[in-house]
Structure formats: C-alpha cells, structure tokens
A and B are shown apart, each in its own frame.
Chain A
C-alpha cells in the first residue's frame, strides 16, 4: 500500500484508452465458432442421396426438451428414401424449445442428425421456428442417384 494507491486506477483507465478496443462489430465482423459448437440442426444424406435417418426416434427419446417429433414409415421399393427399413416421414424440431444440448446428436447411432455451426436462428413467428424435414435436410444432390449395384445404368434410376 502506498500513497499513490488511490490514483493507480487512473493509470489503468488511461492505459486502456490507448489500447485497441476488444469489441467485435457483430454483423460485419464475426468470430469463428469452435468445432464443437452446437448450433442449428441438420439431417444428412449418404453420398448416393439416401437419407441417413431411419426414423428410429432415438433422438426424440433422448431430447430433454421433448422438442423432436419423428413419424416413421416403411420404405417401399417404389419410394426408397433412407438406407434402412424405415424412414422418417415427418421429422420436426421445435427450435423455440431446443436447448442445444446435442443429446440428439449423441443418441443417433447413424450420424443422421448433427448440430452445425450456424447460430442466427431468430424468426418473427413461432411457427417459423418449427423446423420441418425439408428445412433440416441437406439438399438432395443435383444428379439423381444411380443404382449402387449397376453403375451408370440410367434405366434403373428411381426403381431401387
């Protein structure tokens, strides 16, 4: 403790005045998130365009906020959507309730759902925050998937 103690604070503030501000001007400048960051959900496809999700509802069971609804249906030869026996006909996440714990991601044995890095999820209505399957699902590849066993045979496309 010295005589100058009462005035040391003035030095600290003055020194800070000469340093660069630490603020990040948000919309123009963004800090990258870390690899483990959990943001918006995404449903994935295999390279051949089939959905990874087989509608097992394990994510819905794991969700502590009960914000996932899965309604599964059997794949048929005429409508093959996923790689397994069944696929998720309805897959919805109520983002207004989601707590981003990532338990769905942990629960999914097939890596079909993951939490990605996008975090700007505000909407003007509650309804817009209910993400349906077409919002969540990765877009289908431009090229229609070819039959896995008969590469390059266009006649078999769509009849897998």
Chain B
C-alpha cells in the first residue's frame, strides 16, 4: 500500500471503531438502565421507541437543547475545557485496544487495532488518569463548594486506585514479558487466559476499575446523596453529556482493557475475534452493573484505607509470588 492508501485505510478504520464504540456507548446507557431496572424489580426506560431502545436519542436530544450556562462564580475557560478532557482521553485510549489480529479482508490487510505501541499498557494507564483531570478541573472550575469537595475526592481516589491498578497489571506483564497490548493478547491466544494464572490480580483490577470509572460503590466524587452530583453539579446541556459520554466510554474501554489482559482478548473458538471480545466486554460490564445494583457506597476515608491498606499490599504480594514462580522457571 502507498502511504496515501495507508492513511485513508487508517481513517476509515478509525471511523468504524469510533462508530462502533459510540453505538456501544449508546447501547450501554440503555442496557444499564434496563438492567438496573430489572435488578430492582422495575422495568427501566420503556417509553422512547420499542422497549425504550431509543432512549439514548431522547437523552441526547434533551441534553442538546438544554440551556448551556456557566455559573457566575466559575472559571469560565477551565469550566469549558474540563468536560473535553475525559472524552479525548477515552477516545485516545481506544486506539490501543486490539479488537482482533491481522486479517486479510477484501484483498487488503486489515489490522483490528489502532496502534501497537510497545508500551501500550503504560500509555493506557496514563490516558485513563488523564481523564480524571477533567473531573478534577471541572469540579474546581465550577466555583461550587460541593463540586470542589467532589473534585478533591476524585483526586485522592485517582491517586490511590491508579497505583493499585498499575500493580495488578504488573503480574500479567511479567508473564507475557511485554508492555504491548497486542503481544499480551497474542500470548493468550490458544493458550491459557491470564485470569487463570493471575486470579487475584484480576479481582484487584476489577475493583480498581470500578474506582477508576467512579461507579458505585466508589462514586464518591459525585455521591448524589452527599455532594448532590459532586464535580458535575454545575454542568448542564452538552457539557454534562460529555462527562456522561466519557464515563460510559471509559467503562467500555476499561472492560476491553481487562478483557485483553485477563480474558485473552479476541481469543476464542469458531467466532471472529472481535465478537469474542465484545462478549467478554459485555460480561465485565454486566458485573459492573450488578455491583452497582447491589452495593452501598464507601465512605471517603475507608475508600482510601481500602485502596492503600488492602489492594496495594495484595497486588504487591501477587507480584512477589509471580516473580518467585517465574524465577523458579515454572512459567515455561
């Protein structure tokens, strides 16, 4: 392929991925509300379209036509900028997920991933922390005390759980001896998924993932019963929609990340890889929603304690054990 062709192919590929993921995001918002409804003995949205399937369209319509205002006490520039940061970070992280391997389709070579960075895992972690800056800045820039408290909580939570998440992944990285997500996925293909050799790391990862995406029981930044909505209290209209988009996108992406690291990524028999990955992501998302339906919210200080005194020691221990096992040569 000529360089021009490559660029065109990449643009098309990118558009397809973004399109698919954004429809998945729309689907996820309905699916979550429907599922939560069922978990709670009610129906969930059922007015917009058949079975409420057009609810995301209704939501978008509603949010777009709402008044877009900036509170008088806000820092106007940061207030506008803040909601964009998490969306950009989430979309950027998308390029790292291997949705499948290299395929020969329609006479051309199609790689079902955006980029294969040799330090993909690190970049992913960096991007996912970057998203939290939007929340923190937005909370601060609103000029509202509740938002400020929410932002402060988010900042603290980010620091604690980013470490736990990073450490939980180290075991996987040690086994596959690569920081490239594509390599990690390929290592598991046809072999043993890393969830089987790193179960503790998987649990720690899942907990940290819930914390990273600010969902119950870790939704302290918004905690609607304490801080009303925390960092996004003053946001409305499209800016609020952007925060929501980022939240759900990062939920999907972190599930994809988890599926790649621990569940073999696109690995699976008979069906094409991206379908397998989609199924695995769905399972993880279901778990996230199930947790949300069941658990109450942590208290701020307990959350910190849990992160620093439980998760980090466990994942460190996990690394130690992995290192010993690898050192003794069991892995090969």
Contact = CB atoms under 8 A, between A and B. Distances in A.
Contact of B294 (A13, A22, A25): A13
Given A23-B43, A25-B43, A16 B38 contact: yes
B294 A21 contact: no
Interface in A32-68: none
Interface in A2-25: 9-10, 12-14, 16-17, 19, 21-23, 25
Contacts of B290: 10, 13-14
B174 to A, nearest CB: 30
Contacts of A21: 37-38, 41-43
A39 B172 CA distance: 67
A13 B46 CA distance: 21
A23 B294 contact: no
A19 to B, nearest CB: 7
Contacts of B300: none
B232 to A, nearest CB: 27
Interface in B14-66: 35, 37-43, 46
Given A23-B43, A25-B43, A17 B38 contact: yes
Contacts of A13: 39-40, 290, 293-294
A22 B295 contact: no
B294 A9 contact: yes
A21 B42 CA distance: 4
Contacts of B46: 25
Contacts of B38: 16-17, 21
A14 B290 CA distance: 8
A23 B293 CA distance: 17
A21 B41 CA distance: 4
A4 to B, nearest CB: 14
Contacts of A19: 41
B125 to A, nearest CB: 29
B35 A23 contact: no
Contacts of A12: 294
Nearest to A19: B41
A140 B294 CA distance: 58
Given A14-B290, A25-B46, A9 B39 contact: no
Given A21-B37, A21-B38, A10 B294 contact: yes
B310 to A, nearest CB: 14
Between B35, B46, B293, B295, the greatest number of chain A beta carbons within 10 A of the residue's beta carbon is seen for B293
B7 to A, nearest CB: 47
A25 B39 CA distance: 17
A129 B293 CA distance: 42
A113 B290 CA distance: 53
A12 B46 CA distance: 24
Contact of B39 (A17, A22, A23): A17
A22 B295 CA distance: 22
Contacts of A17: 35, 38-39
B43 A16 contact: no
Given A14-B290, A21-B42, A23-B43, A9 B37 contact: no
A10 B37 CA distance: 15
Contacts of B37: 21, 23
B52 to A, nearest CB: 11
Contacts of B35: 17
A16 B42 CA distance: 10
A74 to B, nearest CB: 55
Contacts of A10: 290, 294
Contacts of B295: 9
Nearest to B291: A10
Interface string A116-156: 00000000000000000000000000000000000000000
A43 B293 CA distance: 50
17 contacts: A9-B294, A10-B294, A12-B294, A13-B39, A13-B40, A13-B294, A14-B39, A16-B38, A17-B35, A17-B39, A19-B41, A21-B37, A21-B38, A21-B41, A22-B41, A22-B42, A25-B43
Interface of B: 35, 37-43, 46, 290, 293-295
Given A14-B39, A19-B41, A23-B37, 6 more contacts: A10-B290, A13-B39, A14-B290, A17-B35, A21-B37, A21-B38
Closest 8 CB pairs of A and B: A23-B42, A21-B43, A13-B294, A9-B294, A23-B43, A13-B39, A13-B293, A17-B38
